[in-house]
Chain A
Amino acid sequence: MNADAPETLARRLEDFRGQFQRMMDEVHRAIVGYDDLITDCLVTLFCQGHVLLEGVPGIGKTYLVRMVAKALGLRFGRIQCTPDLMPADILGTHILGETAGGARAFRFEKGPVFNNIILVDEINRATPKTQAALLEVMQERRVTAGGETFDLPRPFFVLATQNPIEMEGTYPLPEAQLDRFLVKLHVPFPGRDELVEISRRTTGFTEPEVDTVMTGEELLEIQRLLPQVPVADPVASYAAQLVLGTHPDGDGALEPVSRFVAYGASPRGLQALIRGARTYGALDGRTAAGVEDVQRFARPALRHRVILNFEGEAESVNVDHLLGEIIDRTPTPAEEEA
């Protein structure tokens, strides 16, 4: 693919922009508003990342995931997490059955993770054991059971949701597992106009129809295409500086970072930034990622990777505000001196 001629690459990028726009339009037939949320969600899918959606109940998180899966023409699986959910419930298990010849033998009954798009609803209600099993699948994209290894279908995405206000009986995700998600997206409450439109669309006899605009193969092609969008060294250096800026013990750490942050973003955060910047640059019709693309993707990619210390949590520090301050005060390539 790297041997592609520039002209071919340009044409394919142009096609990608068209497909992306069509997908946005299709999802918007079912989902009202949430432009940025849908964009970030699709960008993450094209970046081969997993999404953690956080929002109060009833604002369409699950519906959004279903519509995205439908527009992509992918197989959709849903896992509703509860405290008694076991790993075998999501991965699958060996059951005793009969073979074609009538002999009895164990066979592996695949769980819901064997789909292209998995909606893990209220992931923080599952026990840590189940969470660990799921998150291992997210990282390895394969399941090993009974000495057998089963590859998950490609493409494979996990879109998990969690409710931030009902903390009773929950098991918040550990920082290491949060890191597996490429982005964490906040699902805001709709505005008045959006609510009116939602009432108009969803209270009828039939639900809005969403057509498939992209196949799984096409999605994989796009996933292979986007890494070819180049990122200049100064831009990558700026992204790295942003990641370093989240560390409280780094050189030149900001005062609020030193005071309220326990751990900064990991290298996975930098990878997420670069991948997202490439996608945004391509979506903007450019042939290289820029500083603004990095800044655009910084909050979704870093907000769940910045861990506040006790004082930060006690002071109810908003991580997004902290990241905003880091973005504002990190010198861009244009601001660097000789």
Chain B
Amino acid sequence: MNADNHHLPFRSAARRVRTRLVLCRWLSCLARTAVPTLALAAVAWVWLYANGSAWHAALGLALLGGWLLAAAGWAWRRRPSPTAALAEWDRRAGRHEMFLSGLCFEGKAAPAAGERLHLDRARPRLSAELPVLARHVPVRVPYQAWLVPLGVAALAVSGLLRPPPPAEDRPMPENARARAVREVEQLADDAQRLAPPDEEAPSRSETLEQLRKGLEQTAEQLKAAGAQTPREVLADLEARARQAEQLADQLDAAEPLSSDMIAELERHADTADLGDALRAGKPEPIAEEADRLGNRLKSDALTLREGARMKNALGRALKVAKPSDRTSVTGRHLRRSHQHLQRNRPKQAGRQFGNLAKHFRRAARRQAARQRLRQLARRIRAAGRTLFGKQSGRLQRLAGSPGGGSQARPSLRGMRPLPANPQGGLGNWRPQSGRPGSRRAGSPRPGRRMAGGRPPGSGTPVPGAGAPTPGAGQCAGQGAGQAPVPGAGQCAGQGAGQAPVPGTGQGAGQGAGQGAAGAAAGAMAAAAGTGGLEAGVGTAPYGNMATRLFEAATTGVVEPGARGEGPSEVRAVEAGPHTEASTRTAQEVAMEVIRAEEEALAEDPIPLTRRRQVRRYFSALRRQIQDER
């Protein structure tokens, strides 16, 4: 190398200059790409923040390293040749390719006199100027190049300041997971011990089997030592609890009789006890009373007077029966019994009462199964509270909300709000009042929630409770104009996931049920007939129906109703397509011009001395065409 430097000084100088130029280009590239790189880092930071992650120092270092390497690769790829490097140095120093020529001449075996003269003059100058190469090819770090390291450092600091993720999003510790496994296994055993809820409906047994398998699967996942977070476990348990509640809700006992019909039965001495039992809504006493009446009718000791009284009582009761009463199981049995009595066949009438007793005994069994399922659901939720303490309530809401735990989303998606939560008896079909002068509190409607799952005054008439008016909830509650969102909690104290809906529903009373007023608002919205199917129109109905977008080719105009009330109107204004075209294209015009030129040239060879005139002619012609265009 030293010998090379001595004999070929221009070549070694060229390598040195090239290295310096590559370094300059690298720094220049860093300066040019600093701002885009910093923007990329900011986007990554925002993306991480939005996904709940923190900015890692390793990510910042990787970004920094990638940036430096990419710029270095670009600079190396665009590196100048030794010749170009010396030429660049000559250019910057104003030497008129002196060293470049020296580089070319020094490699020759027998340089000419002029080349030797040039080398004799250029070499001393090279020796003098090589030490001050930095003056002409300075290597300075542009201030922009500092932006990225500083920015990455700032982002790293911001990552340190970011609070740690919430406990429910951290992986479960080993002891907590072991405890959760035990609890879930216990729940699976409880579900295993549940008898089939309804021997008449195999689908319900299958649903119960799915519930058992789901719990076992949850236990298996916990055992698998995966990085499950409490949020995911709780979301899974919540899904199982809701599955149990859904199954329980499918076990409705029987259709209710109207209050008038029950009142008519209570008015007669022979059927008064049956009427009382029906009003109480407990299936076992109803079955006993039906058995008693059936045995009495089937008894040989039945007198004609008793038979006539029974016929009269059933007849009067059937007279006030409503169509729904006539189609219900109880109503059908009573009607058939009455028909047999009319035909003087008391034994057959007694058998109808026997069948009615069997029906209510089955209902009693379903009711027991439903209670057990609800207990199981409560047990599952209690297990969550046991495992995760105070987090469970919030996590349960998170699991129930559309944006809840990521693992819970698929299982919870599409769930519909459960109907009212009667906690015992046949509350959801229980008549509210059978006494004269009392007013019914209205039939249960989907989406209506009672505080604590029990309508106030169930079984007890509430004088002056008011008619069911949209927006004015029957139930005690805090009317805040809130409608329950699909997937909201059904139990008292679980009214999460409720979104405020612009409405005016006001609940009466000071109860604790938040869902009542929301239901009222929802009912009002439904009664008003305003749907959410069109853009710009108020609320959307239940049921995950997405608001339709405007058609792309049309213009939507939303016009509110009179005085800003009532449904708004959407009309689409669509313009008809049309095309525009000139009579002649630019190409046609140009072709005409060219053709004219060619014809002029073809007609007569233009002497050179006339070329100026021809040129003027065509120039004028072109200007005219341009003016026309």
Contact = CB atoms under 8 A, between A and B. Distances in A.
- Binding between chains A and B: yes
Interface of A: 2-10, 167-172, 228-235, 281, 284, 286-288, 290-293, 310, 313-316, 332-338
A232 B79 CA distance: 22
B114 A229 contact: yes
29 contacts: A6-B120, A9-B114, A168-B609, A170-B609, A171-B608, A228-B114, A230-B105, A230-B112, A230-B118, A232-B97, A232-B103, A234-B97, A235-B100, A287-B117, A287-B122, A288-B98, A288-B114, A288-B115, A288-B118, A290-B97, A290-B98, A291-B97, A314-B619, A316-B615, A333-B97, A334-B84, A336-B80, A336-B81, A337-B78
Nearest to B78: A337
Nearest to B601: A310
Contacts of A9: 113-114, 117
Interface of B: 78-81, 83-84, 87-88, 90-91, 96-98, 100-101, 103-105, 112-118, 120-122, 597, 601, 608-609, 611-612, 615, 618-619, 622
Contacts of B105: 230, 232, 288
A10 B117 contact: yes
Contacts of B618: 314
Contacts of A228: 112-114
A292 B611 CA distance: 36
Nearest to B120: A6
A177 B19 CA distance: 50
Contact of A336 (B84, B121, B597): B84
Contact of A235 (B97, B120, B608, B611): B97
Contact of A230 (B115, B120, B608): B115
A316 B101 CA distance: 40
Given A4-B113, A234-B87, A332-B91, A338 B120 contact: no
Nearest to A294: B97
A192 B615 CA distance: 33
A294 B151 CA distance: 49
A154 B608 CA distance: 35
A333 B99 CA distance: 12
Contacts of B79: 337-338
Contacts of B112: 2, 228, 230
Nearest to A8: B113
Nearest to B594: A311
Chain A binding site: helix, strand, loop or mixed by DSSP? loop
B43 to A, nearest CB: 33
Contacts of A4: 113
A-B pairs, 3 with minimum CB distance: A290-B96, A6-B117, A334-B87
Given A235-B101, A333-B97, 7 more contacts: A171-B608, A228-B113, A287-B118, A290-B97, A334-B87, A335-B84, A337-B84
A315 B618 CA distance: 9
B84 to A, nearest CB: 5
Contacts of B601: 310
Given A234-B97, A235-B101, A334-B90, A287 B612 contact: no
Contact of A332 (B87, B115, B118): B87
A6 B622 CA distance: 61
A234 B615 contact: no
Given A232-B101, A286-B96, A172 B121 contact: no
A315 B621 CA distance: 12
A139 B622 CA distance: 42
B608 A172 contact: yes
A147 B348 CA distance: 157
B308 to A, nearest CB: 117
Nearest to A13: B117
A9 B116 CA distance: 10
A34 B584 CA distance: 54
B84 A5 contact: no
A287 B80 contact: no
Most buried by A among B81, B97, B113: B97
Contacts of A235: 97, 100-101
B90 A230 contact: no
Contacts of A230: 101, 105, 112, 114-115, 118
A286 B104 CA distance: 16
A316 B619 CA distance: 9
A287 B114 contact: yes
B84 A338 contact: yes
A288 B113 contact: no
A288 B81 contact: no
A260 to B, nearest CB: 13
Nearest to A1: B113
Contacts of B113: 2-6, 8-9, 228
A166 to B, nearest CB: 10
B104 A232 contact: yes
Contacts of B116: 6
Most buried by B among A170, A281, A310, A338: A338
Contacts of B615: 313-314, 316
A8 B120 CA distance: 13
B81 A338 contact: yes
A334 B114 CA distance: 23
B469 to A, nearest CB: 81
Most buried by A among B104, B113, B114, B121: B114
Contacts of A315: 619
Nearest to B96: A290
A234 B618 CA distance: 44
Contacts of B115: 230, 288
A338 B101 contact: no
Contacts of B91: 332, 334
Most buried by B among A284, A333, A336: A333
A228 B116 CA distance: 11
A288 B111 CA distance: 13
Contacts of B98: 286, 288, 290
Nearest to A172: B608
A167 B615 CA distance: 14
A288 B121 CA distance: 11
A172 B610 CA distance: 11
B394 to A, nearest CB: 63
B114 A167 contact: no
A77 to B, nearest CB: 28
A208 to B, nearest CB: 36
A189 B2 CA distance: 60
A263 to B, nearest CB: 16
Nearest to A235: B97
Contacts of B608: 171-172
B117 A284 contact: no
A167 B118 contact: no
Contacts of A332: 87, 91
B609 A167 contact: yes
Contacts of B122: 287
A229 B120 CA distance: 14
A167 B612 contact: yes
